[in-house]
Structure formats: structure tokens, C-alpha cells
């Protein structure tokens, strides 16, 4: 499907942005140079008549994104958490995209539930409300489970949503392919891999069985986290297009006035949102990947509620350690160590100058420290960081895309609660705690014990393996006739194998 017909889809995107006035609004918000604004108007004006009209009652950018479809709405949700990039007013307008989109009919939702679960709605639920929230992919109804009286949220996918997403993603693939062809310098960013990763994340979100499983696992991981509520799924009333999960009442994190009226300590809540995200990513390697304000609530007692588990991230233990060391290096202003970690992990080609890379990182990190948070231009910071990574040949790490994106979203949420929050100071105790536990002597002892346990499983086989190695070494010496100055290389191997066998035997006995 990724053929030339997608050209029309991309042209219509630009035309819709021009017709709704979104291009002018966005370029003004990001303070684009006059030449860029003029070029955008010239390119968009001839195709303006092809653009979608959208809902004229909505602000320009919100109007354009809702008209273009679910993939664009997802993009708008991310922008709504970045007032430091798009401005406070534009960010406020985009919060509409989080949970206030037009719902589809309750009759349609009931028909989908009955088709999925094979049971009538009035038999499964003793009460079933009209939609209480509607987002880009699904809408939610409040209900009461028949027989138990449990209050639940019933999430139902929008009709034909998968087809709509596939059409948008198809156009993204087409655009990424042409970007790589026409702009060779962009290949290090791997646009096709980025879109492919986005496709996997989004299509996984369209199977609510996976979301139920994610909610269950996330709840198990965080059951001891004080001040966090994770609603759990009702399995027998959940399926591919329907998910039933416990109801949790609270104030949305996008309603600042309600939080202030309830006496919620917003700066403390903003710090807790950031620290919990870092804790889940580093401690568990499994984190909520869509933590915008529409997916977070707070109870009057100050407990944080998280829901909508369609997008979850997972990173392996090695990557967590690398990520923690990089964060800690920036926090401690040890730019040399940050550079070394990048080289050790293979993020930067080995033929580049590590000292020059460290100096470039210092230029990125130093402006952050000692500056009022509200004065930091994240757009300019990211722009300079892009220049640095381009100069040193760093490639996009597709396995970290979701982590990086979520970090940006979470930072935006924290700043919306406390515009003066110092991200680095808030993150420091979490990162330091992880490093003490996973990169110090205690971690080395734990890793050694894991190694011994693995060797212990091979204990009974090690004598035969040593004997086979000795025989092979002997045969190799005779048949290959190694020179005298190379024959010594075979001697340490049997000694190592014997020592390993002895260590494994002792561990097995212990």
C-alpha cells in the first residue's frame, strides 16, 4: 500500500493545515523565521482547496489534527504537554485532544461489546452509562458489574479505528522513505525504523487484551508504591475490542483549578509524577508510555491514579544501566563519563574523538544548571543536541524512542503542575538510588551469584567439557602444529575450566 497514492495524503495534510490556519499558528508559536513562514504559505496555498475543513468551533491546530485522523491526534496529545515548545496558549488548546473528542453512539458501543463478549450488556452490567470520556482510539463508559456491584470503566474501541490508523501509518512510511532518499543526512536518524516502531506501538494499542495484560503486570510491579493507584482489569468482561477495568475517581491533572480548590500540593505532585516514571523505567524496566494529563488523576488525598495502559515501554537491564549512568553524569556534571558511556554502549562510532564529544555535551548540559526552569527553551536545547549528535554520527536508537518520548511528555506534565520545577534535582535521588543498588559492590556480588548459579546447572557436564577441551587442544597442537611461541595459549584454558568446575561444584553443594 506504500505507493505514490500516499502523495495525495501528504498534500492533503499540508492543505488542511493551511485551510484551518494551523500552519500560521504553529510557526508563530515556535517563533519561526519570516522566510520559513513565507515558504510554508507559498507551498500550502495552491492546495488549500484540498484541505479538510474540520470543526470550525475548534482552535486552528486542534481543528486540523482532529480532521486528519487518529495518528495526528496522537501527535497533538504529545504537543499538549510541551508549553515550553509550543507556548502555554497552544498547549492549553491541545488538551482538548486528550479525552474530549466527539464520542460515537452508546448503541454502537453496546453492539460491539455484545459481539466481543457473547453476552448481552444488560446481563453483564446492571448499569451502563453514556460515554464519560472519548479519545483518539476508544471511549469509556461507567458501569456496574451485575451480581458483584463493582463499579468499573468499560473501554470500547472506535469502529474501524484500525483501518484509519493503517492509512495514516502508510502515508508516514511513504514520507519516511522519500526523506531518506532526498536527504541522505537524515538516514542516521533512521526515519523508516522510527515509523516502524510507531506502527508496532500503535497496533499493539488496538488490541485491548494486551492492554489488560499490561495493566495487570504494571499493577503487580507497583503494588508497594506508596501514593499510586493502578486499576485492575476484570478479565471475564474483557476482550480484543472491549476492556473492563476497575473505576478510580479523581481529579484530572489537566484541571489545575480543581486541584487548587481541593488543596492539592501541585509542586509535590509534579515531582512525584517524574520520580515514579523514572523509578518504573529504571527499577522495573516496564513503564507507562503514554503519561499525558488525560491519563492521570489525583485523589483528594493526593494519591496518583494512572490508567490507559495501551502504550507501555520495556527496556532491558543493560540499557537501564546505561540510561542511569548517562542521567547521573549530567546531574553530576561529569560530561567525560557521559561521553565514555556513549562510546562503551556503541551509541557513538569508536573513531570519533571522545574529548570533543565530552565538550559538546558540556555545552548542552551547562545551560540547564543554575537557570530558572521557566527560562529554559527546550526547543533550542533539543535543536543544539541534534546538531551535536549529527556531528558525531550518532544513530537513532529505536529501542529508546518510547522512553525518550515519554520522558518528554512526563517532563511536560511536571512543568504544567509546577512551572519552576528543577527536573535534575527531582530526578537525582531516584537515579542515585538505582546506581547504588545496580552499579556498586552490591550489584557486582549479585551478578557474581547469578553467574555461579548458571554455572551450577552445568556442574555435572563440566568434567566432560574439560576433557573434551583438553583432547581438542592436544589434537590441535599435533595436527595444526602450532609454533612454539603460540602453544602457550592453550595452557590457561584447562586451568580456567577446572577452576570453573570446582566453583560450580561448591556453589551446587552450598
Catalytic positions: 290
Using an 8 Å Cβ cutoff, are 409 and 78 in contact? yes
Could you count the other beta carbons within 10 Å of the beta carbon of residue 493? 14
- Distance, in Å, from the CA atom of 229 to the CA atom of 56, rounded to the nearest integer, reads 39
H or E stretch including 121? helix 121-124
189: phi then psi, degrees, rounded to nearest 5: -85, -10
- What Cα–Cα distance (Å) separates residue 50 from each residue in 8, 11, 165, 168, 489? 9, 8, 21, 17, 73
What torsion do the CA atoms of 135, 137, 143, 144 make, to the nearest 10 degrees?
-130
Reported residue count of the chain is: 510
Task: Report yes or no: 260 and 298 within 8 Å, Cβ to Cβ.
Answer: no
Count the helix, strand and coil residues of the chain and give each as a percent rounded to the nearest 5.
Answer: 65, 10, 25
Task: Give me 155's grid cell.
Answer: 473501554
User: Are 245 and 307 a contacting pair, CB within 8 Å?
Assistant: yes
**Which set of grid coordinates corresponds to residue 197?**
516502531
Cell numbers 507497583 label which residue?
222
DSSP assigned state of 102: P
End-to-end CA, the chain: 61
Q: Around Cβ 469, how many Cβ atoms within 10 Å?
A: 15
Closest CA to 108 of 142, 158, 145: 158
CB 303 within 8 A of CB 295: no
Using CA atoms, how far residue 206 sits from 34, 202, 414, 415, 458, in Å, is 41, 7, 28, 30, 44
Residue with cell 508510555: 289
Phi, psi of 18 (to 5 degrees): -75, -45
Amino acid at each position: 500500500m506504500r505507493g505514490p497514492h500516499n502523495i495525495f495524503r501528504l498534500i492533503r495534510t499540508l492543505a488542511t493545515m493551511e485551510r484551518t490556519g494551523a500552519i500560521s499558528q504553529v510557526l508563530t508559536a515556535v517563533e519561526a523565521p519570516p522566510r520559513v513562514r513565507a515558504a510554508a504559505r507559498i507551498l500550502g496555498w495552491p492546495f488549500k482547496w484540498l484541505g479538510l475543513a474540520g470543526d470550525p468551533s475548534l482552535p486552528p491546530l486542534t481543528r486540523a489534527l482532529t480532521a486528519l485522523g487518529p495518528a495526528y491526534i496522537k501527535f497533538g496529545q504529545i504537543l499538549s504537554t510541551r508549553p515550553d515548545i509550543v507556548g502555554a496558549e497552544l498547549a492549553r488548546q491541545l488538551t482538548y485532544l486528550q479525552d474530549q473528542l466527539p464520542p460515537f453512539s452508546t448503541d454502537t458501543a453496546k453492539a460491539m461489546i455484545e459481539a466481543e463478549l457473547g453476552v448481552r450488556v444488560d446481563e453483564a452490567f446492571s448499569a451502563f452509562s453514556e460515554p464519560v470520556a472519548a479519545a483518539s482510539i476508544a471511549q469509556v463508559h461507567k458501569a456496574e458489574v451485575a451480581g458483584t456491584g463493582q463499579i468499573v470503566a468499560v473501554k470500547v474501541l472506535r469502529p474501524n479505528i484500525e483501518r484509519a490508523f493503517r492509512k495514516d501509518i502508510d502515508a508516514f512510511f511513504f514520507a519516511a522513505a522519500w526523506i531518506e532518499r532526498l536527504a541522505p543526512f537524515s538516514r542516521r536518524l533512521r526515519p523508516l525504523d522510527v515509523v516502524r516502531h510507531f506502527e508496532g506501538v500503535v497496533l499493539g494499542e488496538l488490541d485491548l487484551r494486551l492492554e489488560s495484560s499490561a495493566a495487570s503486570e504494571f499493577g503487580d510491579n507497583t503494588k508497594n508504591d506508596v501514593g499510586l493507584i493502578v486499576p485492575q482489569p476484570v478479565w471475564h468482561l474483557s476482550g480484543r475490542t472491549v476492556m473492563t477495568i476497575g473505576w478510580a475517581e479523581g481529579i484530572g491533572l489537566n484541571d489545575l483549578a480543581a486541584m487548587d480548590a481541593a488543596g492539592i500540593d501541585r509542586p509535590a505532585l509534579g515531582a512525584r509524577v517524574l520520580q515514579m516514571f523514572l523509578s518504573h523505567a529504571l527499577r522495573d524496566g516496564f513503564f507507562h508510555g503514554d503519561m499525558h494529563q488525560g491519563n492521570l488523576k489525583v485523589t483528594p488525598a493526593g494519591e496518583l491514579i494512572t490508567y490507559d495502559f495501551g502504550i507501555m515501554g520495556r527496556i532491558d537491564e543493560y540499557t537501564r544501566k546505561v540510561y542511569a549512568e548517562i542521567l547521573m553524569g549530567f546531574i553530576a556534571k561529569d560530561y567525560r563519563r557521559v561521553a565514555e558511556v556513549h562510546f562503551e554502549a556503541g551509541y557513538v562510532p569508536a573513531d570519533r574523538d571522545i574529548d570533543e564529544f565530552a565538550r559538546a555535551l558540556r555545552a548542552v548540559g551547562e545551560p540547564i544548571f543554575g537557570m530558572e526552569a521557566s527560562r529554559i527553551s527546550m526547543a533550542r536545547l533539543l535543536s543544539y543536541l541534534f546538531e551535536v549528535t549529527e556531528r558525531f554520527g550518532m544513530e537513532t536508537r529505536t529501542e529508546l524512542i518510547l522512553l525518550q518520548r515519554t520522558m518528554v511528555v512526563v517532563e511536560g506534565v511536571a512543568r504544567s503542575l509546577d512551572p519552576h520545577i528543577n527536573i535534575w534535582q527531582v530526578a537525582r535521588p531516584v537515579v542515585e538510588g538505582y546506581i547504588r543498588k545496580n552499579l556498586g559492590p552490591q550489584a557486582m556480588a549479585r551478578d557474581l551469584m547469578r553467574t555461579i548459579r548458571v554455572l551450577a546447572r552445568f556442574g555435572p557436564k563440566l568434567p566432560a567439557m574439560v576433557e573434551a577441551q583438553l583432547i581438542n587442544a592436544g589434537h590441535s597442537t599435533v595436527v595444526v602444529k602450532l609454533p612454539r611461541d603460540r602453544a602457550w595459549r592453550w595452557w590457561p584454558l584447562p586451568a580456567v575450566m577446572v577452576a570453573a568446575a570446582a566453583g560450580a561444584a561448591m556453589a551446587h553443594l552450598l
